[in-house]
Structure 1
Amino acid sequence: MRHTEKHRTERIGWLRAAVLGANDGIVSTASLVLGVAAAGADSKAVLVAGVAGLVAGAMSMAAGEYVSVSSQSDTERADLARERRELAVAPEQEHAELAEIYVKRGLDRELASTVATQLMEHDALGAHARDELGISEVSTARPIQAAFASAGTFSIGAALPLLVVLLLPASALMWAVPGSSLLFLALLGSLAAKTGGAPVLMAASRVTFWGGLAMALTAGVGALFGVAI
Structure 2
Amino acid sequence: MADTIAESDNNPKSSKVFNMDLEKQEGVVVVTPEEVEVFDYAKRAQWLRAAVLGANDGLLSTASLMMGVGAVKQDVKTMILTGVAGLVAGACSMAIGEFVSVYSQYDIELAQMKREGNTQDKNKLPNPYTASMASAVAFSVGALVPLLAAAFIKDYKVRLTVVVAVVSLALLVFGGVGAVLGKAPFVKSSLRVLIGGWLAMAVTFGLTKLAGHVGV
Give the RMSD, CA atoms, in angstroms.
2.9
Aligned pairs for 1:68-217 within 5 A: 68-84=101-117, 125=118, 137=124, 140-169=125-154, 170-217=156-203
Identify unmatched segments of 5+ residues in structure 1. 85-124, 130-134
SS at match of 1:39: coil
CA distance in 1, matches of 2:123, 2:199: 38
| Preserved CA contact (<8 Å) 1:34 1:173 | no
SS at match of 2:58: helix
What do the CA deviations read for 1:102-161 (whole angstroms, capped 9, x no partner)? xxxxxxxxxxxxxxxxxxxxxxx48xx9xxxxx994xx4221221111111111110000
Point out which structure has higher relative CO (alpha carbons under 8 A, 6+ apart).
1
1:20 maps to which of 53, 57, 63: 53
CA distance in 1, matches of 2:37, 2:57: 35
Instruction: Give the residue type in structure 2 aligned to 1:199.
Output: P
What do the CA deviations read for 1:51-95 (whole angstroms, capped 9, x no partner)? 1111111111111111111111111111112222xxxxxxxxxxx
Q: For residue 177 of structure 1, report the CA deviation from its aligned partner.
A: 1.6
Q: CA 1:70 to 1:217, structure 2 compared with 1: closer, same or farther past 3 Å?
A: same
Q: CA 1:65 to 1:220, structure 2 compared with 1: closer, same or farther past 3 Å?
A: same
CA distance in 1, matches of 2:210, 2:72: 8
What do the CA deviations read for 1:21-73 (whole angstroms, capped 9, x no partner)? 10111001000000000113311111111111111111111111111111111
Matched residues, number: 180
| Preserved CA contact (<8 Å) 1:11 1:196 | no
Q: CA 1:4 to 1:18, structure 2 compared with 1: closer, same or farther past 3 Å?
A: same
| Preserved CA contact (<8 Å) 2:45 2:181 | no
| Preserved CA contact (<8 Å) 1:193 1:200 | yes
TM-score by length of 2: 0.73
Q: CA 1:4 to 1:82, structure 2 compared with 1: closer, same or farther past 3 Å?
A: closer
- Compare CA radii of gyration and give the structure with the larger one: 2
Which residue is 1:33 aligned to? 66
Percentage of pairs with the same residue: 44
Aligned pairs for 1:46-65 within 5 A: 46-65=79-98
SS at match of 1:70: helix
Identify unmatched segments of 5+ residues in structure 2. 1-29
Instruction: Give the residue type in structure 1 aligned to 2:49.
Output: R
CA distance in 1, matches of 2:193, 2:128: 25
Instruction: Give the residue type in structure 2 aligned to 1:216.
Output: A
Instruction: Give the residue type in structure 1 aligned to 2:70.
Output: A
| Preserved CA contact (<8 Å) 1:19 1:188 | yes
